[in-house]
Amino acid sequence: MFGLFKSDPKKKLDQQYKALLEQAMQAQRSGDIRKYSELTELAEAKKRELDQLA
């Protein structure tokens, strides 16, 4: 019954992963390749965390 109010960690990680990818894309489009690579690396780390939960 109270499981309804718990947040889903997979959903939260997936949202963070998608947000990081979006930020990385914007950085790449603006020509900031260093920021793009940093954000992509962070996104890949989130993806690995997500895969471990699955």
The angle subtended at Cα 4 by Cα 12 and Cα 22, nearest 5°, is: 15
Q: What pLDDT shows up at residue 33? A: 97
| Three-class DSSP category at 41 | helix
Which residues, 6 or more positions from 40, have their beta carbon under 8 angstroms from its beta carbon? 20, 21, 24
The pLDDT of 31-37, averaged and rounded, is 98
Give the separation between CA 41 and CA 21, rounded to whole angstroms. 10
- Full domain range(s) for residue 39: 2-53
Domain count, the chain: 1
Tokens of 28: 């790449």
Give the separation between CA 29 and CA 49, rounded to whole angstroms. 27
Amino acid occupying residue 25? M
pLDDT at residue 1 tops 60: no
The pLDDT of 30-40, averaged and rounded, is 98
